[in-house]
Chains A and B, each alone.
Chain A
């Protein structure tokens, strides 16, 4: 499989604040790749660098073999960009916006009306084609945004928090649409998100924390690497129980978000042991399969839910 995006030792500094501290990873062509992390973890900076809006302090970004840092103009031809905030003109109609975008990407001539028509159909915008974007709802505007970015069939589409402000149904539709795009046209998709369930349905996930990539891989592989199950215990004094569990059973227990967290294979067998060993201490105890949040906790010691 060829590489769509290759990032090597990428660093970025805003004044004295290091927002990216040496990132390296690659995204294969045809992958749906999620950059997962809490707000402030460096996702937005990385997004801006990939879409050539921001120059990194050092490091390399390669888009289909084009050096996007040295030759941003050429890299832009391979990129479709969807910003978190809409980049459409509210005073123009849906069709006018799409046409302007097509012309900016060198798409014009006799074939264009058909291309626009298809995009309108695909995103269910045909009935609103000649309405000004300002009159559309937030969800519809986002669809215009997507229709626009995908109009010119760019091989790499990057999206910044694409599901921000969408209801759960619209979010599911969006992900289905992106997956369909990958299946139909082989488009590579890179999106940033702070939502675990969104990242979980992507092919691969890179977890960003404080400007570093703490884990990367398929969601299943990442969760499998956590080590069996995750035991979550609510109790009166988590710190003391953590110490006691360590002393008596030799397990590593972390206090995360006021609760005790233990990673352990066949954790259900451990439940009665803990409850009986510390009578009256345990208030609730739950066994679960690890999620991407557990992967995040495993690598950083903090919960993404709390950080976001």
Chain B
């Protein structure tokens, strides 16, 4: 019975997301635009410290863009929990004979699936902009994106659940989630950064996901398993925290 409930909530979340066209454009279009503008603009003037010199910024920024797509999709999708609360749909779910954990699993899996689908669309169109996509490494890369998607969706849910307006979420997004992505090695490598920033980056769980993602795209995931482990541990922690939070009765 719980399986059907999760599937029903998953389907509903995915349908709802895909029908809100502005949301699809926002979560897929914005990162792609960033990638093309920054990638083409910085082009060959970007020389990462210790990095290979022949690759341009477009290539360097590709994994970072994938992470941004996952972040945006996860965030836009978990934001829907605030709308569900405002629109009343959520209270209908809360009085249904469904375990609270099912609500979390459905929300996180729906936003993760959407994130992975968006990442696939992006990779399919990336060659048009002149980027080389390492096709054979994609299964490993998607395994990393899956872990990242679960972690960021659960984090998004954790933030969104107590909020009553989406404005509050946008503030947190700009102050916490975007910096988290900026300082993960997605936009610039840690090697060339100042010492304090390197420390911040080392404390950022997403940095480990980014390291694993770059390694996976290079066909070297095996060497990056410990970093993937850190990301997975963070994902598990946020997932548990979200389940606990959602299970606490609150005055609706």
Contact = CB atoms under 8 A, between A and B. Distances in A.
A89 B8 contact: no
A51 B95 contact: yes
Nearest to B92: A87
Contacts of A172: none
Contacts of B89: 87-89
B16 A77 contact: no
B252 A53 contact: yes
A89 B97 contact: no
Contact of A83 (B7, B19, B92): B92
A88 B95 CA distance: 13
B87 A92 contact: no
A189 B235 CA distance: 44
Nearest to B7: A103
A53 B92 contact: no
A52 B249 CA distance: 10
Contact of B94 (A53, A90, A106): A53
A52 B12 contact: no
Interface string A117-136: 00000000000000000000
B9 A76 contact: no
Interface stretch (A25-33, A93-101, A280-288): A93-101
Grouping DSSP codes into helix (H, G, I), strand (E, B) and loop, the B interface class, with mixed when no group exceeds half, is helix
Given A86-B87, A106-B1, 9 more contacts: A52-B95, A76-B95, A76-B96, A89-B12, A96-B12, A104-B5, A104-B9, A104-B96, A105-B97
B98 interface: yes
Interface in A98-117: 99-101, 103-106, 108
Contacts of B20: 91
Contacts of A83: 88, 91-92
Interface residues of B, number: 28
Contacts of B98: 104
A10 interface: no
Nearest to A84: B88
Contacts of A87: 88-92
A81 interface: yes
Contacts of A76: 95-97
A52 B100 CA distance: 13
Contacts of B90: 87
**6 closest A-B pairs by CB:** A87-B92, A103-B8, A104-B96, A106-B1, A76-B97, A87-B88
Interface in B159-218: none
A54 interface: yes
A79 interface: yes
A268 interface: no
A307 interface: no
A108 B8 CA distance: 10
Contact of B9 (A79, A81, A100, A105): A100
Interface of A: 14, 48, 51-55, 73-74, 76-77, 79, 81, 83, 85-92, 96, 99-101, 103-106, 108, 148
Contacts, number: 76
Contacts of B7: 103
Contacts of A90: 87
A31 B1 CA distance: 30
A293 B91 CA distance: 32
B11 A100 contact: yes
Interface string B134-154: 000000000000000000000
B88 A101 contact: no
Nearest to A75: B97
Contact of B8 (A73, A104, A148): A104
29 contacts: A51-B95, A53-B91, A53-B95, A54-B249, A55-B249, A76-B96, A79-B95, A81-B95, A83-B88, A83-B91, A86-B88, A87-B88, A87-B91, A88-B92, A89-B16, A90-B87, A91-B15, A91-B16, A91-B19, A91-B20, A92-B12, A92-B15, A96-B12, A99-B8, A100-B8, A100-B12, A101-B96, A103-B4, A104-B9
B95 A89 contact: no
Contacts of B92: 81, 83, 87-88, 101, 148
B101 to A, nearest CB: 11
Nearest to B102: A104
B225 interface: no
A48 B91 CA distance: 10
Contacts of A108: 4
A176 B149 CA distance: 50
A97 B88 CA distance: 13
